[in-house]
């Protein structure tokens, strides 16, 4: 059954990690199922500080990519994927997925840690509980 993509970003993520399945503890793997709405379903820029991710497309045509490190002048690596294609997101790199197709997209991912962590870039920077910086 598809996940609900009727939200602000048009995607739904179902995660199976050590929190959801304690038997995974010490096995070094987490699993993610992602549903994307047509025309713009987005998994916003984020990072997994403890894991590399391998994403496999089951349906649809998402545009995926990641930004490499500052020492390399921050190159952006992108690719439009199709059914059966895979893409690797290196540990700690900011990455995204965006459905550019006119049908829903579905992807499955494996991560190299039972607790990969996730940091959604914009939420972390702009949703912090610290008071705003005041410029004088």
Q: 119-120 and 11-16: which strand pairing?
A: unpaired
Q: Would residue 73 be called left, alpha or beta, if left means φ above 0 and alpha means ψ between -120 and 50 degrees?
A: left
Closest CA to 106 of 65, 55, 46, 54: 55
The answer as to whether 128 is a domain residue is no
Annotated binding-site residue? 50: no
* Closest by CA position to 44, among listed 81, 90, 95: 95
Q: Which of 92, 87, 79, 83 is nearest to 121 (CA)?
A: 92
Is 5 domain-assigned?
no
First to last CA, the chain: 53
58 inside domain: yes
| % of the chain with per-residue pLDDT over 70 | 90
- Report if residue 136 sits inside a domain: no
- Could you tell me if residue 6 is inside a domain? no
pLDDT over 90 (residue 125): no
Residue 83 lies in a domain: yes
53 in Cβ contact with 66 (< 8 Å): no
Domain total for the chain? 1
Domain around 102: 11-123
Tens-place pLDDT, residues 102-120: 999 999 999 999 889 999 9
The average confidence (pLDDT) of the chain is 90
Is 33 labeled as ligand-binding?
A: no
CB atoms within 10 A of CB 13: 14
Cα–Cα distance for residue pair 70/81, rounded to 1 Å: 26
Q: Do the domain assignments include residue 57?
A: yes
- 78 or 18: which leads in pLDDT: 78
pTM, two decimals, is 0.86
Beta bridge partners of 94: 67
4 falls within a domain: no
Q: Is 95 annotated as a binding residue?
A: yes
Question: Using 50, 70 and 90 to split pLDDT, how confident is the model at 70?
Answer: confident
pLDDT band at 127 (very low <50, low <70, confident <90, very high): low
Residue 31 maps to which CATH number?
2.60.120.10
Closest to 105 in 3D by CA, of 66, 67, 55:
55
Residue 126 has pLDDT above 90, yes or no: no
pLDDT digits (tens, 9 = 90+) for 28-44: 899 999 999 999 999 99
């Amino acid at each position: 059954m598809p996940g609900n993509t009727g939200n602000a970003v048009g995607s739904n993520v179902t995660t199976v990690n050590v929190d959801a399945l304690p038997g995974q503890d010490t096995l070094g793997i987490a699993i993610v199922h992602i549903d994307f709405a047509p025309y713009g379903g987005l998994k916003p820029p984020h990072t997994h500080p403890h894991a590399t991710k391998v994403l496999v497309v089951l349906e649809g045509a998402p545009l995926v990519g990641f930004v490499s490190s500052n020492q390399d002048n921050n190159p952006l690596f992108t690719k439009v994927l199709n059914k059966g294609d895979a893409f690797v997101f290196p540990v700690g790199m900011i990455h995204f997925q965006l459905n550019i197709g006119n049908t829903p997209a579905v992807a499955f991912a494996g991560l190299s840690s039972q607790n990969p962590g996730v940091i959604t870039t914009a939420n972390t920077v702009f949703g912090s509980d610290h008071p705003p910086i005041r410029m004088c």
